[in-house]
Amino acid sequence: MPIRFNDTKLGSLYTNFEAQKRTNPNLKLGQEQVLQLVALVGDGNRGWSASKIATELAKPGVSRDAQIALVKGGMTANEKKDLAAILDQGTVPLDPSAKQFLEAVLDRSSPQPPPPPPPATSGLAVTGDQKNGLTGTTKAGATIEAINISTAPGGRLHMDDTSVIGKADANGQFNMAKLTGDQAMREGDLIRMRARYADGSTSDWLTVKATGIAAKDTSNATVALFRIGMTDAGGGKVAVSNINASRQVSEPGAQLEFTTKRTGEKARVTITETGGFPDGFKLNGKPGDSFAVAASDGVNNTAFTETVGNVTVPGGTASTTDLIPDPALHKDELDGAGKPRFSKTNFTGPLFIDGAKPEDVQQGQIGDCYFPAAMAAIAKANPDAINNLVKDNGDGTYTVTFKQKDWASGRFKDVAIKVDGDLYVRSYGGALYGHSSNSSDPKKMELWFPLVEKAYAQWKGSYNEIGNGGHSSNVFEAVLGKDGQDMYVSTGNLDRVFDTIKKAVDAKQPVAAGTYGESEEARYTNSGVYADHAYSILGYEQVGSEKFVIMRNPWGESEPAGNGANDGIFKLKLSELGKLYQNLMYTN
């Protein structure tokens, strides 16, 4: 017999679920569908609309107890009868977690057995599938931290660069804990997670495979081609390594197949638990050999017929024009004999595309974050300064004119540095060091930033000389011919800090900020901000008494959660700036 609903909106939604069941006999209502129902029940709470209640109920990390309280706060007696009818007379089955939730809303004792206690070894357990998010048990009040290690290889995340996705209630239960954005869980993804307790300690890491999200796993393993290093090992062998050992090439357990284009020979390797290659992994090959790379997570592309790209061993007969000797590589990119582990390619793309912009700037495989942070800040504040900085000579060379202070006179003089378009490249063909966001193709990539970085390395002596940290204020001097300034940032001088930022931005002068060193790494847990790193400051905002600073990570990605597109640009409260940043860099 059909349910006679008092709340017409609730009845309409449930009728829709009944229609879905007629076309899908296996349909069950899960936590997500039940939250849609109770949002209509809770719409008397605080005068909020049903859509507002639905948003609050579905927020990542909201506890089960908070969800129940929100629904009960707006539920009328008739709506309570409607929910009871769904439980007792409904024609669409409820999965156990959804049934438990409705019973708790109605103050019924649940017939379901309590979840198992957390295992003593890890302090964290996941129960059920992940259709509506991660559900499980841990210590009461613990926060749940997680990272999707299936999607992480596509970015610059370490395997412990987690986000807080939930919190356990007073009974140690958590539910609907979800990763969002680029890390949103897909069927078959590997989720690495841990619990963080009130005293700051954590559980052991737990890796779970996401299930119940979709009928089929259609997402193959992500491969970071730009991290695959190929080196001639002699004797007809090529050593294969991860050139960013602290980050992943692919997800643990994935298999990569390398096919030598010259011979057709195939070889497979299984990615380790840390997302890299086994120690000593080698392929048959020689300098100049190119390999097609295919991947499988064990479910998708098991025949390895779809490739993700190509990698090439440095050396062979290819050579660049080398019109001007290039600055030496950073020491980390040299082999044991001091020879380059990377080859060069001549880039011929446009110097500028629509002028200089902050988003053009991408830091590469070198520890010079202060430099791209400074250049992006200048591109935002004074793009004409960059247009005047670098000149295309029309013969394959470029002249970058820096400023150097004459300490005797206190004035700045021009220093012209000439470079060609040769850039060191990764095995897949993209630039090793600074590059532009528009393309990795040598014929298309916008060149102003990598050429300015190359000229700076030429001026200072080598990429090694500029690649071990520095100050953005020194780069401001070198480009603008104005004295650079540094200010210590603390929670006690934030008004002065904000006033300095405001004055600089309004005057179209560049600003950057630096974080604390790696000894303070714990300060950055789950913040989306990184220790020992420089950031551009692009602007500021003030909403009432709340002040914000608009920042950019020179990686062009990786930022605090909830900031929209993963483009490295984010808005930070001034109070958070005071906690996370150590110094401000600007010009006089």
What is the percent of the chain with per-residue pLDDT over 90, rounded to a whole number? 65
> CA-CA distances (angstroms) from residue 269 to 221, 224, 231, 295, 341?
14, 15, 17, 10, 22
Tokens (6 digits) for 22 = 């007629």
φ, ψ of residue 119 to 5 degrees: the values are: -65, 140
Which residues on neighbouring strands pair with residue 312, listed in sequence order?
A: 290
In the chain, CATH 2.60.40 sits at 124-209, 225-312
Structural fold of domain 225-312: Immunoglobulin-like (2.60.40)
Max CA separation in the chain (angstroms): 96
Tens digits of residue pLDDT in 560-571: 877 878 899 999
Nearest to 470 by CA among 378, 370, 403, 402: 370
Q: Would you place residue 396 in the very low, low, confident or very high pLDDT band (cuts 50, 70, 90)?
A: very high
Residue type (1 letter), 259? T
Residue-level pLDDT at 45: 60
Nearest to 449 by CA among 391, 376, 552, 368: 376
Contacts of 205 (CB under 8 A, 6+ apart): 192, 193, 194
Contacts of 429 (CB under 8 A, 6+ apart): 310, 312, 345, 440, 442
Tens digits of residue pLDDT in 410-459: 899 999 999 999 999 999 999 999 999 888 999 999 999 999 999 999 99
Residue-level pLDDT at 317: 60
pTM over 0.75: yes
Q: Tell me how far apart the terminal alpha carbons of the chain are, to the nearest angstrom.
A: 79
Which residues on neighbouring strands pair with residue 259, listed in sequence order?
A: 266, 292
In angstroms, the CA 512 to CA 93 distance is 56
Q: Which residues of 435-454 are buried (b: 16+ CB within 10 A; e: fewer)?
A: bbbbebebeebbbbbbbbbb
Residue-level pLDDT at 505: 96
In angstroms, the CA 135 to CA 118 distance is 12
* Beta strand pairing call for 511-515 and 228-234: unpaired
In angstroms, the CA 333 to CA 340 distance is 6
Tens digits of residue pLDDT in 525-556: 899 999 999 999 999 999 989 999 999 999 99
* Beta strand pairing call for 344-346 and 237-242: unpaired
Average of per-residue pLDDT across 255-282: 96
Structural fold of domain 124-209: Immunoglobulin-like (2.60.40)
pLDDT at 114 over 90: no
Q: Would you place residue 467 in the very low, low, confident or very high pLDDT band (cuts 50, 70, 90)?
A: very high
Task: Tell me which of 436 and 94 has the higher pLDDT.
Answer: 436
Residue with tokens 């979709």: 214
Contacts of 435 (CB under 8 A, 6+ apart): 362, 364, 445, 449, 450
Residue-level pLDDT at 329: 94
Average of per-residue pLDDT across 137-163: 93
Among 250-259, 351-360, 403-412, 571-580, the minimum mean pLDDT is found in 403-412
Which class does domain 484-587 fall in?
alpha beta
